[in-house]
Amino acid sequence: MSLRSVFRGWVDHYFSDEEAVLLLVLLVVGLAVVIWLGQMLAPFLTALVVAFLLQGAVNALTRRKVPHLVAVMTVFLAFVGVLLALALILLPLIWNQLASLIQEAPRMFAAGQQMLDDLQMSYPQLITPDLVQDWIAVLSREATQLSQRALTLSLASLGNVLGLLIYLVLVPILVLFMLKDRDRLVGFTVSLLPAKRDLMTRVWKEMDCQIANYVRGKATEIVIVGSVTFFTFAFFGLPYSALLAVLVGFSVLVPYIGAAVATLPVAAVAGFHFGLGDQFLYVIVAYGVIQALDGNVLVPVLFSEAVNLHPVSIILAVLFFGGVWGFWGVFFAIPLATLLKALVYAWPRGIKERSMARLPPHSDAGTGTGTDG
């Protein structure tokens, strides 16, 4: 069998349906637009995510006989209030704690170096002076890079003030119109698609509920985990509680990896402030309890329609889409992986398989006794 015949058979098997070819073209075009114009379209994408978050509240109000426009305005005003609270209260607090942490970083580095020296003296057989020097060199290099990144971020933030103002004005306006004119926008988008779109309809119906459930559930999880972490750390008197709580809250975006990464700064700040004593152990245990409750209680409750993806698939999706689109790629890694899975299962598999799929349940295709649907 020649290579040409093998390739032609593969094309006939997967692309004999014209709708499948059209869907593939739309996916490629959409992917190219996001990759090349993603930064330009960032306010629109942000507004789209926020509209997804708020649409559930709008639907809940309309189900209680609240007029659509009143429901939209109520939810939108609540969103603007939360946005202003974040901009005027939470962000300055986090920024001040971050600046204080950067200023205290040299003292934390010196304390870590002293801790390594004490460990070397206590366990000379396990921790050699060369090993301590290697660790100190690594810590010094990381501290230098952290300082450089902080300085770069501070300088860059001066030029991003205009961009932030654009976000604060443009995103709410887009959210308002997306909520108010949702049916018109969806209808216009659907009118651009071909009349025959059975495959697209099947894929969209499978994805619509899952994407909405994931976005809203993930946002709720971030708020709950971040809030509980903040009050827990504040109860133990841990400094930089707000900054660490935001870090822990956003760590849930990256399954399996985020919790491990967030543990390092929490342990470093707790160890520097409390030392390796009982108070340090209490903080670490409390943090472990929060992570355990998040993974075993909160996630199953929030994601009642959770996608059935293997952990390896989730990690690969996070690595790939995060590398392509950064933060938004990480945030949408699981929905995008679910979309690929839905496409794989819904994709037409050739004329022969489609005809066999239409056979009556009790027909026997192998003996020729069944009727071809």
- What is the pLDDT at residue 155? 45
Give residue-wise pLDDT tens across range 291-303: 988 888 887 777 6
Taking the whole predicted model, whether its pTM rises above 0.75 is answered as: no
Which of 252-285 are b and which e, b meaning 16 or more Cβ less than 10 Å from the residue's Cβ? bbbbebbbeebbeebeebbbbbbeeeeebeebee
- What is the pLDDT at residue 364? 43
Give residue-wise pLDDT tens across range 210-245: 777 777 788 888 999 999 999 999 999 999 999 999
- What is the pLDDT at residue 306? 52
| pLDDT < 50 stretches in the chain | 154-159, 351-373
CB-count burial class (<10 Å; 0-12, 13-18, 19+) for 180: middle
Q: Which helix (H) or strand (E) holds 306?
A: none
Please give the structure tokens belonging to residue 271: 């160890």
- What is the pLDDT at residue 70? 93
Of 257, 235, 262, 232, nearest in space to 247 by CA: 262
Residue with tokens 């959409």: 30
- What is the pLDDT at residue 1? 57
- What is the pLDDT at residue 287? 93
Q: Are 9 and 342 in contact (CB under 8 A)?
A: no
- Report the SS3 class of residue 252: coil
